Copies of this chain bind each other. A is one copy, B any other.
Amino acid sequence: MGARMVVVGADATGMAAASQARRLRGAGELEIVVFEKGQHSSYSACGIPYWVAGDVAEADDLIARSVADHRARDIDLRMRTEVLAIDPEKRRVLARDLDTGAQGWTGYDQLVLATGATPIRPPLPGIDAEGVYGVQTLDDGQALIEGLESAGGRKAVVVGAGYIGVEMAEALVRRKFEVTMVTRGAEPMSTLDPDMGALVRKAMEGMGIRVIRGTEVTGMRTSEQGRVCAVTTADTKYPADVVVLGIGVQPATDLARRAGLPLGESGGLLTDLAQRVRGYDDIWAGGDCVEVLDLVSGSQRHIPLGTHANKHGQVIGSGVGGGYATFPGVVGTAMSKVCDLEVARTGLGEDDARRAGLQFHAVTIESTGRAGYFPGAEPMTVKMLAERRTGRLLGVQIVGYTGAAKRIDIAAVALTARMTVEQITALDLGYAPPFSPVWDPILVAARAAVRAVATGH
């Protein structure tokens, strides 16, 4: 009889790990059991705002591979089954069937923790009222869409201004809601420096979204029927027929914590480069429940993102299946859009760099996404950070229109290769008038950064 791989969580990491392990080991060699407390597997949480906006027709479109697909590949996927405890000593997990209430221990040879993240829900008065929605799971998305359709009015408040908050604000505008966004940050998208975040805010305001900054939400006011009717702050209230929480997420590691597994500052699991939980030979973890190595600052960070989750799953599946793969780390690339405005960042922002003990020069340039004379040439703002003296690239932020966001990949690769801004000025980037000025905006920014490094200011 073969070994048994037990996976906790059937989303990107868990199912990528199971699939990859199955590719390497047949059912005779490796039994694969996956426990999932929800009722969906392998779905794109990142797609939820576009489903709410109406771009994507239905939840099924967001499901990459169905439960039946997985089972057809000899993966014993047990839906609506919650893992209650891990016993690393005895190499077993305690799981309960949420429908029947039956529970029992299942032994493992290799355990994969892919428990994901949970939305932050501060203990505010009224946060559990009807009409207040999170947007983490497909069920959340379904509840929100139904809530929007039955809402008594057209006022929506989005709490939080991260990627998901900004994407939800756009979705609500497109659903004909009057949208107010409340954030404690100085500007929306706190992974951008405030000067770049301000460009995003202006675009949002241009869409009719009211952005309330530097403001803590103190609670939700509810009607006598227990339905949310306003979001309150220290000195104001914002009427709301619907409230969407986009405050962010935290690693779902209660289970791991109770089992004594090592967690980082963010609460995410700590792993080695092969995604094995530190100190354990037979427990692996990946996706939104782990911390990742930031290759630019050298620190551990919690960056919940589908693309990392999939890579982690791939690496874990290779390892469990007897192959070899590693996840070397991230450079912190992220992107989004607000209507036509494209937004992207990679590497360190000013605060990140200071926290890492780095001194730097920051430059910001204005260019266009196409040759200036080409019709539809739209403005693009690029901010670039270069380390003082060495000139090493530290980070890039881009706000612009068509073709702006994916340009961040140039910087992502350059960061990975630890290039200096001088080296970047010589890159042989694609040029044709419909796609780029003869000096790509990234090159223009790099030239400005070279001058800043050379002159010291």
Interface stretch, picked from A85-93, A104-112, A306-314, A351-359, is A306-314
A15 CB–B CB distance under 8 Å: no
The reply to whether A47 and B433 contact each other, CB–CB distance below 8 Å, is: yes
Size of interface on A: residues with Cβ below 8 Å to B: 64
Give complex CA distance A138, B407 in Å: 31
Partner of A61, one of B50, B56, B373: B373
Contact A330 to B428, CB < 8 A, known contacts A406-B406, A436-B406, A439-B310: yes
A55 CB–B CB distance under 8 Å: yes
Partner of A331, one of B308, B408, B428: B428
Interface stretch, picked from A244-252, A262-270, A333-341, is A333-341
A380 CB–B CB distance under 8 Å: no
Nearest-neighbour CB distance to chain B for A434, whole angstroms, equals 6
**A52-67: contact bitstring with B at CB < 8 Å (1 yes, 0 no)?**
0001100001100000
Which B residues lie within 8 Å of A332 (CB)?
Answer: 428
**Nearest B residue to A426, CB-CB:** B328
Give A73-106 interface residues, CB cut-off 8 Å to B.
none
Interface stretch, picked from A176-184, A217-225, A227-235, A413-421, is A413-421
The reply to whether A430 and B405 contact each other, CB–CB distance below 8 Å, is: yes
Give complex CA distance A346, B334 in Å: 25
The reply to whether B433 and A405 contact each other, CB–CB distance below 8 Å, is: no
6 shortest interchain CB distances as A-B pairs: A417-B417, A413-B413, A307-B431, A335-B430, A61-B373, A330-B428
Chain A residues engaging chain B, CB cutoff 8 angstroms:
12, 44, 46-47, 50, 55-56, 61-62, 163, 305-308, 310-311, 326-337, 342, 344, 346, 371, 373-375, 403, 405-410, 412-414, 416-417, 419, 423, 425-436, 438-440
